[in-house]
Structure 1
Amino acid sequence: MPRLPDLEAMAIFARIVELRGIGAAAVDLGLSTPTVSKSLARLEQRLGARLFNRTSRRLVLTEAGQRLAERAARLLADAEAAEAALREDAATPQGPVRLGAPMSFGVSQVAPLLPAFLARYPGVTVDLHLSDARVDLIADGFDALLRIGPLVDSSLRVRRLAPVARLVAASPAYLDRHGRPGHPADLRRHACINYAYTGVAAWLFENRAGEVVTVTPGGPLTINNGEAMLPALLAGIGIAVLPAFILGDMVAEGRLERVLPDWHAPDSTLHLLTAPGGPRPARVGALVDFLVERLAA
């Protein structure tokens, strides 16, 4: 297997040529003179050619040194430019950020925030991907993910932003026809509309006395998006448990009615996930800080 080029020695050689001396290069690079001399000797040995003719007062490039000097200078300049660009990118919010969020939450809560973010950071572009399916932050190329509900253990950075209240509701017409449950166990006799991505097969309820009841719902419809459950709810198909940001207005307007008002489904949690380890690019940090500012309420 061929060895990789000795780029460090090439860079030091380029600086020796630029500053016309080993001592001057050592001072500029913050290295000792013996270290710079050894690097030059290592490069000459590797290449099998003398790069300088040394006199007591000066260094003179050999023919081989002259051929290498221009290319080494380009390598050094390219490396310095690459580092400068990355440092600028890390320090200044600019460039694309890919954000994932649940569909209904993304439409109602995240998308309305983005105009203010883009106005604050005009150098940043946002690619917002909405899906209730579980995605892999690393494998799917996301910079940040918003997720509601329990999380699978992982090495990702996780920031808990806020509780997400959940309501149990049905249409008044359904409840008039089938009766109003007084206890969670009564739900076993009712049609329930299920959310496909809960990750659990049961609904959990708790009352003020601390009594906890678990019910396995059954019903004619399972859907993988919360808002898509609303037409069935409004049409009187059954009872559903959904976040308050989906049901709240309809309950307030009387189009839907809260079920089991003396019981509550435990709050879920809104999390912000980012990649583990190392400093974030400024564009990602800016979006993370903005989402924390606006959503951690």
Structure 2
Amino acid sequence: MTSLRVFCMVADLRSFAAAAERLDLSPAMASKHVMHLESRVGSRLLNRTSRHVSLTEVGALYVAQAKQVLEGLDEVEAAISNVTVTPRGTLRLSAPVWVATTCFTGMLADYHRRYPDVCLDMDLSGRKVNLVDEGFDLALRATAPDRLDPGLVARPLMQIDFCLMASPAYLRRTARPQTAADLNGHALLRYSGMGVNDNLTLDSPDGPQAVTLRTVMQSENETMLHLAALEGMGLVFLPTWMVQTDIAEGRLEPVLPTALGFHTTLHAVYPSRRYLSAKVRTFIDFLAAQTASEFQPTLSTNPA
């Protein structure tokens, strides 16, 4: 395990000398530890020059797994000795684009104040990352439980409400829909990551109502669809968490919210490991402790 710790320290500091000083070793001994590890795995893990140390492609994959092993070992040793491990290190987190809100950022700031030794490395690309292969500690995914990878652990955190909405300018230009039937022919900004297409079956006082919309833009990026909706390009399904400020300030309006709203569950998803690192465990517990009401705006419609 010493060789693993030396390798991770060199990878983090990008220097054998700095890592050796931090671990109270000679630079030569630090180099021997890394060479021993490279011999064991049969691949070069670090590129070395007289002035620079960097990870190879294999090394980048290996260091992520090595850190997880070391963190797990620290947790086991702490459990045995009844010592509380202080959360520290980099927490690699994947999340939907729409979490980039003032509300969620406030949560992150609260977590940072509580655990200042944890560095948050956030991927908001919107793609479904491979947690294990890409070295992610955790992902936040809004989906039904049966659509999650069965090889992962999923902890439900909160309900996320979605609503069909549009800008006041669009609704004035096209006439604000009063019934489900009024939606026929309306422009739709379609989120490719959600199972919604041009043909929808909606509830109405007279029973299910089939309507057909007209896709004018589709994208897997919720931010692009959000901006297009603000520009009056069409109707869009978005999580209310993402647009609560726009709703409150009148830039967007819910369209038939009682007929068209739906919700899903936000899950914390992580690889199945018996011993979670302190940084992952505390972050999940922190999110779970937040009440859903803190992040759900009150929907209201503006009169025509």
TM-score (norm 1): 0.63
Q: Which of 248, 257, 264 in structure 1 is aligned with 2:244?
A: 248
Mapped pair 1:144 → 2:138? yes
Structure 1 residues 252 and 166, CA, compared in 2 at 3 Å: closer, same or farther?
same
Query: Which residue of structure 2 lines up, in the alignment, with residue 173 of structure 1?
Result: 169
Shift of the alpha carbon at 1:166? 1.4
Mapped pair 1:157 → 2:153? yes
In structure 1, the residue corresponding to 2:214 is in which secondary structure?
Answer: coil
**Deviation per CA, 1:229-252, whole angstroms, max 9, x where unpaired?**
233222221111111122322222
Structure 1 residues 216 and 131, CA, compared in 2 at 3 Å: closer, same or farther?
farther
Q: Does the 8 A contact of 1:205 with 1:263 survive in 2? A: no
Shift of the alpha carbon at 1:188? 3.0
Q: Which of 108, 112, 116 in structure 2 is aligned with 1:118?
A: 112
Query: Which residue of structure 1 lines up, in the alignment, with residue 28 of structure 2?
Result: none
CA RMSD of aligned residues (A): 3.0
| Gaps in structure 1 of 5+ consecutive residues | 1-80
Equivalent position amino acid for 2:231 in 1 = A
Could you tell me the percent identity over the aligned residues?
A: 33
**Deviation per CA, 1:178-214, whole angstroms, max 9, x where unpaired?**
2222333433311111112114436766558695556
Q: Which of 192, 196, 202 in structure 2 is aligned with 1:196?
A: 192
In structure 2, the residue corresponding to 1:165 is in which secondary structure?
Answer: strand
Mapped pair 1:271 → 2:237? no
Mapped pair 1:103 → 2:97? yes
Query: Which residue of structure 2 lines up, in the alignment, with residue 223 of structure 1?
Result: 219
Query: Which residue of structure 1 lines up, in the alignment, with residue 18 of structure 2?
Result: none
Shift of the alpha carbon at 1:118? 2.3
Equivalent position amino acid for 2:153 in 1 = R
**Deviation per CA, 1:127-182, whole angstroms, max 9, x where unpaired?**
12212121122222111111123333422111111111112111222222222223
Structure 1 residues 214 and 156, CA, compared in 2 at 3 Å: closer, same or farther?
farther
**Deviation per CA, 1:40-76, whole angstroms, max 9, x where unpaired?**
xxxxxxxxxxxxxxxxxxxxxxxxxxxxxxxxxxxxx
Structure 1 residues 277 and 89, CA, compared in 2 at 3 Å: closer, same or farther?
same
Matches of 2:205 and 2:131, distance apart in 1: 40
Q: Does the 8 A contact of 2:72 with 2:277 survive in 1? A: no
Query: Which residue of structure 2 lines up, in the alignment, with residue 21 of structure 1?
Result: none
Query: Which residue of structure 1 lines up, in the alignment, with residue 48 of structure 2?
Result: none
Structure 1 residues 229 and 270, CA, compared in 2 at 3 Å: closer, same or farther?
same
Structure 1 residues 203 and 266, CA, compared in 2 at 3 Å: closer, same or farther?
farther
**Deviation per CA, 1:75-129, whole angstroms, max 9, x where unpaired?**
xxxxxx9998564577512322211111221444433322322222233222122
TM-score (norm 2): 0.61
Matches of 1:228 and 1:264, distance apart in 2: 22
Matches of 1:144 and 1:109, distance apart in 2: 20
Matches of 2:171 and 2:265, distance apart in 1: 29
Structure 1 residues 201 and 146, CA, compared in 2 at 3 Å: closer, same or farther?
same
Matches of 2:194 and 2:88, distance apart in 1: 36
Structure 1 residues 278 and 211, CA, compared in 2 at 3 Å: closer, same or farther?
farther
In structure 1, the residue corresponding to 2:127 is in which secondary structure?
Answer: coil
Matches of 2:276 and 2:76, distance apart in 1: 12
Query: Which residue of structure 1 lines up, in the alignment, with residue 278 of structure 2?
Result: 282
Structure whose alpha-carbon radius of gyration is higher? 1
Q: Does the 8 A contact of 1:223 with 1:229 survive in 2? A: yes
Q: Does the 8 A contact of 1:204 with 1:214 survive in 2? A: yes
Query: Which residue of structure 1 lines up, in the alignment, with residue 41 of structure 2?
Result: none
**Deviation per CA, 1:11-34, whole angstroms, max 9, x where unpaired?**
xxxxxxxxxxxxxxxxxxxxxxxx
Equivalent position amino acid for 1:99 in 2 = L
Equivalent position amino acid for 1:245 in 2 = W
Trace 1:24-173 onto structure 2 (pairs within 5 A): 87=76, 91-92=84-85, 93-150=87-144, 151-173=147-169
Q: Which moved more, 1:214-223 or 1:168-177?
A: 214-223
